[in-house]
Structure 1
Amino acid sequence: MSSKVVIVGGGVIGSSIAYFLRLSDPTVGVTVIERDPTYARSSSALSAASIRQQFSTPLSIQMSLFGIEFLRSIGERLEVDGTRPSIDLHEGGYLFLATAAGESTLRENHALQKRLGADISLLDASGLKSRFPWLNTDDLVAGAYGESGEGWFDGYGLVQALRKKALALGARYVAADVTAVQRDGKRVTQVRAANGETYACDVVVNAAGAWSRRVAQMVGIDLPVYARRRSIFNVSSPARLERCPLLIDPSGVYFRPEGNAYICGTSPAADRDPDDLPLDEVDHALFDDVIWPTLAHRVPQFEALRVQNCWSGYYEYNVLDQNAIIGYHPDVDNCIFANGFSGHGLQQGPATGRGISELILHGRYTTLDLASLSFARVLDNRPIVEKNVV
């Protein structure tokens, strides 16, 4: 008898899992329960949609190396009925900047990234000024720039392409909210949805993003993942910045091109970052007090900025270490978690989908070993330290 897999959440993570499962074994029954098929409030659609290899942990670098390979070949991989999707991938690079205080960390990270095959250049202040003459380098000593393999893309396009391909491969999508999970001892036996239907399962996967904590509670599991709001601002400027990458200021403020304009943002201070803030509100004070002054300092031409549009989306924020939690829970034999990506879900989605499909079908990872991201580190309070959190 073929197994039945129920995936809670149909964003990039859930749809990637569905795609890889059906691609690898068409006999597996896959049901994806997604509360909002328009993805209007989905993190997949509301994020800044970017990909980088500039992390400080080997596994994150390796996951994103596969991520860029996947995105580059998306037309071929996710073709349906002769139509090849496009996600408008721009490999414009990330540019991480460092003052004297951050130079040693930047150099350590760069050495690791290069060793694992990432195409990153390390530039001193004069090199930065030569490559990016519009940049104020007075307080900078170095920068790390992604020559290829880093950039940005259409996040909504990616989730739609994955969903359509998963459907074409035979996955079933249900538009409903999950209201209950039935657990019998160490196993989940069925998932109940707001449409009144119940879905029996051999394996259940929690890929509910910013709402994953609520789903975990239905299983009787305490998941340290919370919805943290992030505001993004689309700004216009007369500035024309040649070869503009996605720039990360030492303060954490970022910006990148978006057509003829720019998008920008930053994480709020810890004391201004509570859980579950409403998505229909934007933190305008963060732009006025932090983002704009920082951008005007870093790029003098940005003194003249005008906000054209703004919105908020959720990070599914893992408060332990801001890294994903992937794999089975030791107390529930058939419950898999894929949560807590903390802003890295789009770029790590393909590697996660591939890995979880391997875990379900083979009982182990057969390509990239994701075991260090397991729930065990949460229970043992063993955080993974990532120095490049954005």
Structure 2
Amino acid sequence: MAPAGWSATPARSTYDVVIVGGAMLGSSTAWFLSDNPDFDGSVLVVERDPSYAQSATAHTNSCIRQQFSSALNVRISQFAADFIHNFRDRLGGDPRVPDLSIQSYGYMYLADTERFADVLRANLAVQRAAGAATRLLTPDEIAAAYPFYALDDIVLGSINTVDEGYWDGGTVFDWWRRQARERGVEYVANEVVAMTRNAAGTKVESVTLKSGETIACGNVVNASGPRGARTAAMAGIEIPVEPRKRFTWIFTAVTPLDRDLPLTIDPSGVHMRQDGPTTYLAGGHADLDPPVDPEDFAMDHALWQDHIWPTIATRIPQFEAIRVITEWAGHYDYNTLDHNAIVGPHTRVSNFLFLNGFSGHGLQQSPAMGRATAEWLTYGGYRNLDMTPLQFERIEQGRAFAETAII
């Protein structure tokens, strides 16, 4: 049974656009379509779990950064930052919409080898050329600004405190979905279980819902997160995307830090940041990082005790005495080829569009990705940021567009 406010049955038998997945990226696309005066088509969003309880959107740490290794990813996040800062205006000045901001305590990458330091230096050049405010810090400069770190093994740090930190992704998601529905985008509580292509295999003609309906479609958008490979397979398409488990803990410290903790990426890969006035967040994954079932959200309690806590306590000695408040496991839609998103149309099934493989960047990239997908659906090309380097052609050719700055 569909929850209150939702129907399980589409009102029509054909739509110009069917979006598979109604979480952050699906709703971003739906909203940008509804906001574009040049788009006058019908849109159906099919969401298998309208509670979103197991979605990547619900499990996100809701962070944003510009410290990437590719200029395109920097610019994608810069658009997101602009969108957040001007959220109410972007949503038409709707007085119901709150003003939003970014808690810009920054990302702090710590390098413990000259090789890693060289990566930070190379990334800095890319980021600064794109307009980011990234700067490098020596260990002495890090200690002066953040005296709580233990830095005996650190040779260099990289930080940007302009539009890097935490933002309220949940509010953006709620308003995208709400406005899209108010403007006529239809959301149904159902699941796409099959797709039918034309005889030539060049187009998806219809999708079949779990409840049995067959819905004709002009275009299909795969916004199904960690289930993206399963959705693509319905159209006869393979993509190198798989669910990878990521763990998060929220904790308090007996002796709190005397200033905000940047989102710190330890050389081990463990990350931690300020979460509230007196709470902190830590996250990571096991060394063995296999694909998991999309329904597997079991915690790995030994990971905290044996790896995460010892790592953060070594880096910040004040974190030796802490108390865990809550914890959860979520999933990345992990692109095993190059850790970058796959967007835009398939090379052969021309009306099948991807929004997959974000490898942990999906929430912060959702404004630019929704806009770009809506542009493609409306104009057959991109009008703002050129997302061509992220399209499926590189997957087909095995040609990585690598992003080295992943967490």
Bin for the TM-score computed over the shorter chain = over 0.9
What amino acid sits opposite 1:6 in the alignment? V
Q: Which range moved further: 189-198 or 55-64?
A: 189-198
Q: Does 2:189 match 1:199?
A: no
User: Deviation per CA, 1:219-274, whole angstroms, max 9, x where unpaired?
Assistant: 111121111111111112123221321111111110111112111111322x3433
Determine helix, strand or coil for the equivalent of 1:139: coil
RMSD: 1.7
Distance in 1, matches of 2:283 and 2:255, equals 18
Q: Which moved more, 1:105-114 or 1:156-165?
A: 156-165
Q: Which amino acid aligns with 2:318?
A: Q
- Runs of 4+ aligned residues of structure 1 deviating over 6 Å after TM superposition are none
| Offset, 1:173 | 0.7
State the secondary structure of the residue aligned to 2:44. strand
Task: Give, in whole Å, the separation in 2 of the partners of 1:12 and 1:60.
Answer: 18
TM-score, normalization by structure 2: 0.91
Q: Which residue, 153, 157, 172 being the options, matches 2:167? A: 153
Aligned length: 388
Q: 241, 247, 265: which is aligned to 2:283?
A: 265
Q: CA deviation at 1:144?
A: 1.2
Distance (Å, rounded) in 1 between the aligned partners of 2:294 and 2:325: 23
Q: 1:239 to 1:111 in 2, by over 3 A?
A: farther
- Looking at structure 2, the residues matched to 81 and 55 of structure 1 have their Cα atoms a distance apart, in angstroms, of 33
Matched letter for residue 248 of structure 2: I
Which residue in the other structure is 1:11 paired with? 23
* TM-score in terms of structure 1 length: 0.95
Contact 2:244 2:289 survives alignment (8 Å) = no
1:274 and 2:286 correspond: no
Cα gap change, 1:26/1:373 in structure 2, threshold over 3 Å: closer, same or farther? closer
| Residue 27 of structure 1 pairs with residue 43 of structure 2 | no
Q: 2:251 aligns with which of 208, 232, 235?
A: 235
How far apart in 2 are the matches of 1:193 and 1:42?
A: 19
Take 1:41 and 1:197, find their aligned partners in 2: how far apart are those partners?
25
When residues 345 and 287 of structure 1 are mapped into structure 2, their CA distance, relative to the original with a 3 A threshold, is same
| 1:73 Cα offset (Å) | 1.6
Larger deviation, residues 130-139 vs 188-197: 188-197
Deviations 1:53-74 (A, max 9, x none): 0011111111111111112222
SS of residue paired to 1:170: coil
Cα shift at 1:329: 0.8
Give, in angstroms, the shift of residue 292 of structure 1. Answer: 0.9
- 1:278 offset after TM fit, Å? 4.5
Unaligned regions of 5+ residues in structure 2, if any? 1-13
| Residues 80-105 of structure 1: per-residue CA shift (max 9 Å, x gap) | 85301456642221111112331111
The answer to whether the aligner puts 1:188 opposite 2:188 as a matched pair is no
2:301 maps to amino acid: H
C-alpha distance in structure 2 between counterparts of 1:9 and 1:228, whole Å:
18
Other-structure match for 1:331:
348
Code of the residue aligned with 2:56 in structure 1: it is: S
2:148 corresponds to which letter in structure 1? W
Task: Tell me the distance in 2 between the aligned counterparts of 1:331 and 1:221.
Answer: 10
Is residue 292 from structure 1 mapped to residue 306 from structure 2 by the alignment? no
Task: Please point out which of 72, 89, 97 is paired with 1:59.
Answer: 72
Q: What is aligned with 1:36?
A: 49
Residues 1:304 and 1:107: Cα distance change in structure 2 (over 3 Å): same
Letter in 2 for 1:186: T
Q: Please give the secondary structure, in 2, of the residue aligned with 1:333.
A: coil
Instruction: Answer whether contact 2:85 2:99 (CA < 8 A) is retained.
Output: no
CA contact (8 A) 1:80 1:165 kept: no
315, 326, 348: which one aligns with 1:309 = 326
Mapped contact 1:235–1:305 kept (Cα < 8 A):
yes
Structure-to-structure mapping, 1:342-353, within 5 angstroms? 342-353=359-370
* Aligned residue type for 2:326: N
In 2, the alpha carbon distance for the partners of 1:371 and 1:284 equals 41
Take 2:54 and 2:98, find their aligned partners in 1: how far apart are those partners? Answer: 22
Q: What is the SS of the residue equivalent to 1:201?
A: strand
The range that moved more, 344-353 or 21-30, is 21-30
CA distance in 2, matches of 1:243, 1:310: 21
1:121 and 1:147 in contact (8 A); partners too: no
Indicate the SS of the match to 2:195: strand
**Identity, % of aligned positions:** 42
Q: Structure 1, unaligned stretches of length 5 or more? A: none
Matched, 1:96 2:114: no
Partner Cα separation in structure 2 for residue 39 and residue 80 of structure 1: 27
1:3: how far off? 7.1
Structure 1 window deviating more from structure 2 (48-57 vs 179-188): it is 179-188
Report the secondary structure of 1:331's partner residue: coil
CA apart distance, 1:175: 1.0
Letter in 2 for 1:104: D
Measure, in 1, the Cα distance between the counterparts of 2:286 and 2:15: 44
2:389 counterpart of 1:372:
yes
- How do 1:73-84 and structure 2 match up within 5 A? 73-78=86-91, 82-84=95-97
Q: Does 2:384 correspond to 1:360?
A: no
Aligned-pair CA distance for 1:284: 1.4
